[in-house]
Amino acid sequence: EAQVTQNPRYLITVTGKKLTVTCSQNMNHEYMSWYRQDPGLGLRQIYYSMNVEVTDKGDVPEGYKVSRKEKRNFPLILESPSPNQTSLYFCASSPYIGGAKNIQYFGAGTRLSVL
Amino acid sequence: AQSVSQHNHHVILSEAASLELGCNYSYGGTVNLFWYVQYPGQHLQLLLKYFSGDPLVKGIKGFEAEFIKSKFSFNLRKPSVQWSDTAEYFCAVKSGANNLFFGTGTRLTVIP
Question: What's the gap in Å between the CA of B47 and the closest CA on chain A?
Answer: 11
By the 8 A CB rule, do A11 and A22 touch?
A: no
pLDDT surpasses 80 at B106? yes
Q: Which among A25, A56, A103 is the top mutation candidate for probing chain B, defined by the most B β-carbons within 10 Å of its own β-carbon?
A: A103
pLDDT at A77: 98
Cβ-Cβ contacts under 8 Å, A92 against chain B: 100
Mean pLDDT of all residues belonging to chain B:
91
By the 8 A CB rule, do B46 and A110 touch?
A: no
| Top mean-pLDDT range of A15-24, A51-60, B51-60, B97-106 | A15-24
CA angle B74, B76, B21 (to 5 degrees): 100
pLDDT at A97: 60
Number of A–B residue contacts, CB under 8 Å: 56
Question: What's the gap in Å between the CA of B90 and the closest CA on chain A?
Answer: 8
Q: How confident is the model at residue A103 (pLDDT cuts 50, 70, 90)?
A: confident
Name the more confident of A38 and A101.
A38
Residues β-bridged to residue B111: B14
Per-residue model confidence as pLDDT tens digits over B13-52: 999 999 999 999 987 778 889 999 999 888 889 999 998 8
* Of A10-24, A30-44, A93-107, B6-20, minimum mean pLDDT range: A93-107
What percent of chain A shows pLDDT beyond 90?
77
CA distances from B97 to A29, A57, A100 (A): 15, 13, 9
Q: How confident is the model at residue B96 (pLDDT cuts 50, 70, 90)?
A: low
pLDDT at B85: 97
Cβ-Cβ contacts under 8 Å, B52 against chain A: 100
By the 8 A CB rule, do B91 and B23 touch?
A: yes
For B99, the closest of A45, A108, A109 (CB atoms) is A45
Closest among A20, A19, A23, A18 to A33, alpha carbons compared:
A23
Q: Would you call B112 helix, strand, or coil by DSSP? A: coil
What percent of chain B shows pLDDT beyond 90?
70
For A42, the closest of B34, B96, B105 (CB atoms) is B105
The rounded distance, in Å, linking the Cα atoms of B31 and B92 is 10
CB–CB contact B51 A108 (8 Å): no
pLDDT at A100: 52
Burial of B77 per CB tally in 10 Å (0-12, 13-18, 19+): middle
